Structure 1
Amino acid sequence: MRRLANRVLIVPNYVYDARRFMSSSSAARSADDRERLAAHITMDYHRIEKGMALPAPRAGFGQDVIERLLVHIPQYEAAYGADATTEVARNALTEYQAFNRANGVVNTKLDAFLSGRPATNGEGGTVELTREQLFPFSDDQALSFVRSRRSVRQFTGETIPNEVIEEAVRLAQRAPSVCNRQAARVYVANQRDRMDQALKFQNGNRGFGDRLGAVFVITADMRAFTTLGERNQAWVDGGIFAMSLAMSLHSLKLGACMLNWSVPARHDKRARAALGIDDNQAIITMLGAGYPVEDVRIAESPRRQLDSVLHWL
């Protein structure tokens, strides 16, 4: 009976996801709000950055990208004002312009655009690093850190302070995302009543949820996505960010445990209504974190044999 009921419910659950993707992303609508337009600008300035980061960039590359940026940046600034999105874009364009000039390529439209308001020489474009700067740690340090991450379920109950949570999220933002659009968002509770409210929607925290020091709800803003091919990208980018957050918490000597969010549509609706999470956010997972007790017992969780995971093409 359960399998039959699931067959009946699969389609409406997929429709629930599809409806929210269509109404949130710009795959089937115009980029008519701040987040959707910012996604298009970010996607295009990052194309410029990626081109500049190639071993041998071609002078004058990406003219179609430049044309879009020269439309979208003024459109965005007229509606919402200049902010980090457009400043980073302007800085990337300034580096691109200098590279092209050095190689005998002049774009008069771009020159006129940038002369109207020069870039701030802040973030954006490319940066050169030595190999030592790229890997500023010993082999032993790196291997020990990665191998030591474990899922923890025994905590002291001590609250994780706001500033520690902020540092963990700041570190997690190093996670890669499609075209640097950084769709991941984090809703956090570190007060007992708020944590309990969130945890009642998740049934995998029994026996330890009451000892957590913070609860994180990781989401992805579907307004960051622009094509039908990105219909599942929220779960990819959100999942990568969630793992980055777990590693960031580990680096701060906090224990963490992923709290699965594989729920039917009706449950998802109730949770986002109770927690104040917008419909344009895809809830990826919850994550519980806290200060571990002195002697921690963990699930051993042996890993699969390598040959069952690794397949050579």
Structure 2
Amino acid sequence: MTITVENRAIQGGGVIKSVARRLYAQQAMRPLMQRARLAVHRFLVFREFVGDAHEAARDTTVRPDYLFNVEHVERELVLRYHQVEKGLVLPEPRRPFGIESGLRQRLSDVLDLAATHHPRTSSEVIAGARTAVEALDEFNEFGTYDVRAANPGPGVKKLTDAEAFFASRRSCRDFDTKRRITVADIERAVGIAQTAPSACNRQSARVHLYSDSTQVAAILGFQGGATGFTDCITDLIAVTVKRGQFRDGFERNQRWVDGGIFAQTLTLGLHAIGYSSCFLNAMFTRRQMKAVRSVAGIPGTEDIVAFLAVGTARDGYRVAGSPRLDLRTVLTMHSPDGAK
């Protein structure tokens, strides 16, 4: 009996040592396993971005002579004719406009390309481009141009229904510097923007307001898209998103979606309380972005979605025509037996 007990004791001691060794091995391996998981995670995220880069390189072009499909032609036409529209609604358009820069010639070249090689180019886009060429020629020859004039007043039409509200919000490039937005109204508009939906309610959007003229000028100097009306931009907003709110490769683009929804809701909030705005892009190289962050005081953990020039529109300000595509171009009905 004693021998049996002793044997069991010895066996029990062996089991304990075996378990201890396993636990020790697991503890020793844990950091290595964590590093391995992290490496796999980073590889999977990197792989998704590489795929994105490949598609971007395949589906985008830079120079007009590389235009080889209808989508690229339409893109170039819209980009060029909107440049004309924006230029002609500035407070003081320079004359002649679009000649030295080659804008007039590029627009004509792409129109010719569409006519000769891409007959399926959208008729709305063609019409918009031709109208822009005619307006540009008229302005350069006579100093006059036909653009849409906004209603006089604070830049916001009296609304009667929801559709009128959305249709009446237009980009403003002529602000009254004597009637600036108040902090209380900025807070009110941002509060409205906070009603915007976000993935899993993560609310990653952030708002940076700049009202110092020196800082605004420095930021706009990097941005470069407000040439011709920077002098009337007294208040500037940067909409950013917290990158760390999203995880894994499959969420790599979600911050831009959430940030875009928030930014649009912010412009509608500003519009609702009587202020005008103009979206300004945030397209920078990595080096430029680093410089912009430094000037604007934006942390490296936040990505800039867009800038917004905001204020009160000058009485009688003009807006770009910006014609919209035909609804049938935008809407595809996949279920003919569904909604009627």
TM-score, structure 1 length as denominator?
A: 0.54
Partner of 2:243: 222
Residue matched to 2:276: 255
What does 1:12-161 align with in structure 2 at a 5 Å threshold?
Answer: 140-158=160-178, 159-161=180-182
Aligned amino acid, residue 252 of structure 2: R
Structure 1 CA distance, aligned partners of 2:295 and 2:216? 12
Q: 1:291 aligns with which of 312, 320, 333?
A: 312
TM superposition outliers: structure 1 runs of 4+ over 2 Å:
none
Cα deviation, residue 140, structure 1: 4.1
Deviation at 1:209, TM superposition (A): 1.9
User: Shift of residue 193 of structure 1?
Assistant: 2.0
Shift of 1:302: 0.3
Partner SS for 1:271: helix
Q: CA deviation at 1:243?
A: 0.5
Which residue of 199, 203, 206 corresponds with 2:224?
203
CA distance in 1, matches of 2:311, 2:222: 19
State the shift of 1:197 in Å.
2.3
- Structure 1 residue 307 and structure 2 residue 328: aligned? yes
State the match for 1:79 in structure 2.
none
**CA deviation profile, 1:131-153 (whole Å, cap 9, x unmatched):** xxxxxxxx942121111111111
Three-state SS of the structure 1 residue aligned to 2:278 is strand
Tell me the residue number matched to 1:164: 185
SS in 1 for 2:223: coil
For 2:302, give the aligned amino acid: Q
Matched, 1:184 2:213: no
Q: For 1:282 and 1:153, locate their aligned partners in 2 and report how far apart those are by CA, in whole Å.
A: 25
- For the 8 Å contact 1:209–1:288, the answer to whether it is kept is no
1:36-82 deviation line (CA, Å, top 9, x unaligned): xxxxxxxxxxxxxxxxxxxxxxxxxxxxxxxxxxxxxxxxxxxxxxx
What SS does structure 2 have at the residue aligned with 1:200? helix
Query: Which of the two has higher C-alpha Rg?
Result: 2
Percent identical among aligned pairs is 38
Residue aligned with 2:173, SS: coil
Partner Cα distance (2:326, 2:183) in 1: 40
Q: Which amino acid aligns with 1:168?
A: A
**Alpha-carbon shift at residue 258 of structure 1 (Å):** 0.4
AA paired with 2:257?
A: V
Measure, in 2, the Cα distance between the counterparts of 1:140 and 1:164: 23
CA distance in 2, matches of 1:292, 1:213: 12
The answer for the alignment partner of 1:84 in structure 2 is: none
Query: d(CA) in 1 for partners of 2:320 and 2:185?
Result: 26
Measured after TM superposition, the shift of residue 238 of structure 1 is 0.7
Q: Is the 8 A contact 2:215 2:295 kept in 1?
A: no
1:193 counterpart residue number: 214
